Chains A and B, each alone.
Chain A
Amino acid sequence: DAGVIQSPRHEVTEMGQEVTLRCKPISGHDYLFWYRQTMMRGLELLIYFNNNVPIDDSGMPEDRFSAKMPNASFSTLKIQPSEPRDSAVYFCASSFLLSGSPGYTFGSGTRLTVV
């Protein structure tokens, strides 16, 4: 299995632009999570899905952030408009509820820089 695949690996954009981050979870996993990592705040859960349905989006910072999961193999996190304070590493992770070891598998992340 190729693991959780995120794209792009790096994104540099200007303030006010729309940014779309992409994630392909591990096949068969029924949960998908979006996390943001910064030095100041550590790993923050933004939103998670179960069977493509958003379950908890209370971590989404504000209306500028939105996430979708149109099918079991693809999810996007969109920021519109982007701001410098959105600069962070964004991780996608997936898991399988009925696994004997229900830990997450993280992707390699997207490093977002908003200038």
Chain B
Amino acid sequence: QQQVKQSPQSLIVQKGGISIINCAYENTAFDYFPWYQQFPGKGPALLIAIRPDVSEKKEGRFTISFNKSAKQFSLHIMDSQPGDSATYFCAARDNYGQNFVFGPGTRLSVLP
């Protein structure tokens, strides 16, 4: 119930393409869904986040789509760039606590 599932495990996209990473959860108490970006040798950094009362949030080239009924959310990276090559983690927080549950991560490679 506390798990967040994430797919794909790895993703290769051509420069300029769209990268899509999907996550799913079971716990209906989750109330905040961030995405983190991690470069090698660095800690994860908050990229974008959404609450379940909206279906989409966009920040620049990054968009979260949220489907509350399906308990799924996804990250779309438009016009993907080689500098976007990193590992992406989805996460979820339940409204009873402050800790997050993280997905297993997706390694994105954007080819020049």
Contact = CB atoms under 8 A, between A and B. Distances in A.
User: Number of contact residues on B: which range applies?
Assistant: 20 to 34
A42 B98 contact: no
A43 B102 contact: yes
Contacts of A45: 99-100
Interface residues of A, number: 22
Given A42-B104, A43-B89, A101-B49, A106 B98 contact: no
B76 interface: no
Q: Which of A97, A104, A105 is the most central at the interface, judged by chain B CB atoms within 10 Å of its CB?
A: A104
Nearest to B44: A106
A59 to B, nearest CB: 9
Nearest to A109: B43
Interface of B: 32, 34, 36, 41-46, 49, 89, 93, 97-100, 102-105
Closest 5 CB pairs of A and B: A106-B43, A103-B46, A43-B102, A42-B104, A103-B34
